[in-house]
Structure 1
Amino acid sequence: MIYIRKATLDDLAILLEFEQGIIVAERPFDPTLKDGKISYYNIEKMISASDVEVVVAVLDEQIIGSGYARIENAKPYLNHKLYAYLGFMFTHPNHRGKGVNTQIIEALSKWVQSQDIFEMRLDVYNDNPSAIRAYEKVGFKKHLINMRIGI
């Protein structure tokens, strides 16, 4: 049975592997990423931060997924002061299609609500329809398209 728990510093090695898995998966969608090894997150700092909840999905004592919710200040013209930004969403390839991402989002949603925040947002690449479907399946809706041009 899969369960979700708060990440600890003991999980750091596998979480760093997951981060590289995310980067490998996203490289085809983002020509602006640097070549070579890069890092998106300071996972160690996030695990210890009070405004970030990092969780892991565990099956048979093995970590198979991850995600975080980070409290952010909303733009002053919005009808909410704070929101939670979700990121670091990763499920090990051997465990995709088992609802792991849904369980992670549900756990993060509970934490977000416990912080008296009722808005969650995330970014997903437009050219990644499987990720878009996964987020729509749990209730996310397309909201804004971020466009770019290299000049």
Structure 2
Amino acid sequence: MMIVREAIEQDLEILLEFEQGIVSSERPFNETLKEGEIHYYDLHALILSPNTHLVVVEENNEIIASGYALIKQSEKDYNSFKEYGYLGFMFVKPEHRGKGVNQLIVDALIAWVKDKGISEIRLDVYDQNESAVKAYEKAGFEPLLLTMRLKA
């Protein structure tokens, strides 16, 4: 049986491994990432932050997945919302993919954001990452903006 629980400081070692898994999976979609080990997140700070809900999924006492929801302030005065939930750090160990684990995480994070009284929820995904795009669309997300780049 899988359980979703809040991450604790003792989970940092596996969470750092998950972070490198995310980096590795994103490298084919982003040639601008530096070589070697890089870090997207301050995981310790995310665990301790009252504005973040960092969760893990456990199965048979093994942590198999992670994700977070972060309350962010809108940077645009013209938005109809002042703050929104931002989802990130979504990772499922490869051998557990396709079992609905990501949906468990997304559902838990959306529930946490809604409990905070926030109705706008966003995330970023590489448009070429078709499996991730499909998973988020299945969870109810829809494309909003595509960032384009030019290497000059």
- TM (norm. structure 1) is 0.98
The residue identity in structure 1 corresponding to 2:58 is V
Deviation at 1:118, TM superposition (A): 0.8
Runs (5+) with no aligned partner, structure 1: none
Q: Deviations over 1:71-114 (max 9, x none)?
A: 11112111111101110000000100010000001000111011
Q: Deviations over 1:22-76 (max 9, x none)?
A: 0000000001101111111000010000111100011001000000011111121
The residue identity in structure 1 corresponding to 2:113 is V
Deviation at 1:126, TM superposition (A): 1.1
1:72 maps to which residue? Answer: 72
Count of aligned pairs between the two proteins:
151
Aligned ranges 1:1-151 → 2 under 5 Å = 1-74=1-74, 75-151=76-152
Cα distance in 1 for residues equivalent to 2:110 and 2:77 = 23
RMSD of aligned residue pairs (Cα, Å)? 0.6
Q: Tell me, what secondary structure is at the counterpart of 2:53?
A: strand
Cα distance in 2 for residues equivalent to 1:134 and 1:114 = 23
- Bigger shift: residues 15-24 or 73-82: 73-82
The residue identity in structure 2 corresponding to 1:44 is H
Q: Tell me, what secondary structure is at the counterpart of 2:88?
A: strand
The residue identity in structure 2 corresponding to 1:128 is N
Cα distance in 1 for residues equivalent to 2:115 and 2:127 = 31
Deviation at 1:130, TM superposition (A): 0.7
Matched-pair identity in %? 51
The residue identity in structure 2 corresponding to 1:98 is K
Cα distance in 2 for residues equivalent to 1:85 and 1:150 = 28
Q: Tell me, what secondary structure is at the counterpart of 2:147?
A: coil
Cα distance in 2 for residues equivalent to 1:129 and 1:107 = 23
